[in-house]
Amino acid sequence: YESLVEIDANGLKRQVLIYMNHPLRYKDYTFYQASYAIDKLSREYSTLAVVKNPGKFLPYFACFLTFAGLVIHFMSSSFQKKK
């Protein structure tokens, strides 16, 4: 299932298709299609889950910190062996 949504921001309209593993990312929010159903009048509707993740850059920072630590470790090890 998929949902075609329309974003109207500052007078500029844009249509976006939301489907499995392809959420809509808009500003600080991510919109996922949570469910899809048909009501008694045969109308289709979708339920969207809206997520705001303030810590989304934390894994990138952790990887950078780990990489920097490895570089420092290997550089300090090579300098100690030369002495």
Q: pLDDT tens, position by position, for the chain (83 residues)? A: 889 999 998 889 999 999 988 999 998 899 999 998 999 999 999 999 999 988 888 999 999 999 999 999 988 866 676 65
Asked whether residue 44 falls in the same domain as residue 78, the answer is: no
Write down the pTM of the prediction: 0.65
Asked whether residue 69 falls in the same domain as residue 82, the answer is: yes
Domain that residue 27 falls in: 1-52
Q: Answer whether 3's CB lies under 8 Å from 44's CB.
A: no
pLDDT of residue 29: 92
Question: Is residue 72 within a helix (H) or strand (E), and if so which, with residue range?
Answer: helix 58-82
Asked whether residue 64 falls in the same domain as residue 32, the answer is: no
Asked whether residue 15 falls in the same domain as residue 40, the answer is: yes
Longest Cα separation, the chain: 82
pLDDT of residue 69: 95
